[in-house]
Amino acid sequence: MRSGRKTSGELDEEHLVRLVARGDRAAFEELYRRTSPWMAVRLRRRCADEQIVAEVMQETYLAVWRAAGAFIGAAAGGTAVGWLWTIAARRLVDAFRRRAHHAEPPPEAAPRSMAPAAEEEALATTVGGEVGDALRRLAPELRQVLQAMVLDGLSVRETSVLLGLPEGTVKTRARRARIEMRKALA
């Protein structure tokens, strides 16, 4: 007969995060085992540099260990997986910014053109062809929403949290972005 307590292998990701918040190393290891493969795949889709992917993975799970207590979860309409991806996506953008910052020539030798934003660089390596061109021509605020919802697979609520926007604004921008994309691809 089994006891009423579930093992970490039987818990969903949200419960694992709650256990991690209490310092449960076994729950953290199980969460990592379950989520790190897809996390690495998603990061590799946005970045071809394995060193950056490994760095972002490490920073993401360190942040999860440290901030698991801040996870609100289903109470705010989010998911543990969405929360993890939000952390990873932000860490990836930070890594692109660091790389761009360190790769720039000294100010006196730098050309006067603007370097593409980290998000632009990630988008360029993710989506190509006519679709990529159409995405890059979208206004930045529309592209951010579309990228979060379509490329990153986040819900309206998760996109709202990620971008710090009201849900209605996210829905409106997503609709406008889709209309613009249809026009550009027609």
Per-residue pLDDT of the chain (186 residues; tens, 9 = 90+): 344 455 555 688 999 999 999 999 999 999 999 999 999 998 988 888 899 999 999 999 999 999 998 887 766 667 888 889 889 988 988 888 787 666 555 455 444 444 444 444 444 444 456 777 777 788 888 888 888 787 777 778 777 777 778 889 989 999 998 898 888 887
Cα–Cα distance for residue pair 135/148, rounded to 1 Å: 12
pLDDT at 33: 96
pLDDT at 125: 47
pLDDT at 145: 85
pLDDT at 55: 95
pLDDT at 171: 92
Task: Quote the tokens at residue 75.
Answer: 């109470």
Neighbours of 155 (CB within 10 A): 16
Q: Which residues of 44-71 are buried (b: 16+ CB within 10 A; e: fewer)?
A: eebbeeeebbebbbebbbebbeeebeeb
With CA atoms as reference, report the closest residue to 84 among 68, 102, 106: 68
pLDDT at 117: 45
Q: Which amino acid is at 162?
A: L
For the full predicted model, state whether its pTM sits above 0.85.
Answer: no
What DSSP element (H or E) covers 119?
helix 118-126
pLDDT at 103: 55
| CB 175, CB 159: distance < 8 Å | no
pLDDT at 40: 92
Q: Which amino acid is at 7?
A: T
Where do the H-state alpha helices sit in the chain?
13-21, 25-46, 50-67, 80-103, 118-126, 129-137, 140-146, 156-163, 167-185
Cα 74 to Cα 55, 60, 84, 153, 164: the distances in Å are 29, 20, 14, 17, 18
